[in-house]
């Protein structure tokens, strides 16, 4: 009689674990992306930054807000004198992740994947009056290019000049981690599996 009862219990627990892990696989994942600014084909090592974007495997194509976009650019990264000192682009963000439906080289549907970013990001204003200055970086997705402008002065005396125009960039996925809900489901599933194995050892 004991053997008859234990088998359905193990089956129920294993089925529960499988269900939980399947549900976890469709939950949101927080993916971290690096933004790689280039000058032609060469990456600018003096510019580093990135953002986090949360998605699910079923997220449809479109544009979606990102979390904490930030790019730090060292002095003279864009040329002999620009920027004059290290700056961080992390203000007034309108950055969005652009997803498009993609296929593999064999023609298999891979669902929506990030193909670029759009929007702009600017630095804080340094100085004041006629000496005030801030930089703005703007991105397009098709093609993937960025432009950097420099704005000086204040009020009606502001002037904006372009210091980088139409240069390429990459947005590369560096890591994907489960959202808290996904991690919780996985832990519950592992706990149920451990409980099942513990009962099996005690009964043997």
pLDDT tens-digit map of 103-156: 777 877 767 889 999 999 999 999 999 999 999 999 999 999 999 999 999 988
pTM for the model stands at: 0.73
The first and second tokens of residue 134, run together, are 């801030």
Contacts of 1 (CB under 8 A, 6+ apart): none
pLDDT tens-digit map of 103-115:
777 877 767 889 9
Q: Is 27 exposed, middle or buried (0-12, 13-18, 19+ CB in 10 A)?
A: middle
Mean pLDDT (the chain, rounded): 81
Give the pLDDT of residue 108: 76
Model confidence band, residue 85 (pLDDT cutoffs 50, 70, 90): very high
DSSP three-state, residue 159: strand
Alpha carbons 133 and 142: distance in angstroms, whole number: 30
Q: Tens of pLDDT along 156-168?
A: 889 999 999 999 9
């Amino acid at each position: 009689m004991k053997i008859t009862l234990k088998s359905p219990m193990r089956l129920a627990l294993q089925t529960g674990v499988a269900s939980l892990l399947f549900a976890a696989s469709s939950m949101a994942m927080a993916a971290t992306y690096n933004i790689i600014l280039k000058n032609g084909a060469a990456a600018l090592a003096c510019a580093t930054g990135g953002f986090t974007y949360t998605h699910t495997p079923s997220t449809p194509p479109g544009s979606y807000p990102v979390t904490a976009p930030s790019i730090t650019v060292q002095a003279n990264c864009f040329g002999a004198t620009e920027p004059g000192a290290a700056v961080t682009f992390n203000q007034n963000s309108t950055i969005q992740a652009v997803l498009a439906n993609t296929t593999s080289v064999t023609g298999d549907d891979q669902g929506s994947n990030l193909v670029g970013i759009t929007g702009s990001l600017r630095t804080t204003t340094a100085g004041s009056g006629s000496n005030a200055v801030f930089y703005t970086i703007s991105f397009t997705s098709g093609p993937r290019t960025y432009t950097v402008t420099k704005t000086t002065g204040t009020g009606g005396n502001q002037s904006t000049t372009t210091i980088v125009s139409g240069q390429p960039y990459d947005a590369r996925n560096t890591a994907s981690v489960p959202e808290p809900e996904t991690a919780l489901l996985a832990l519950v599933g592992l706990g149920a599996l451990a409980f099942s194995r513990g009962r099996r050892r005690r009964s043997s």
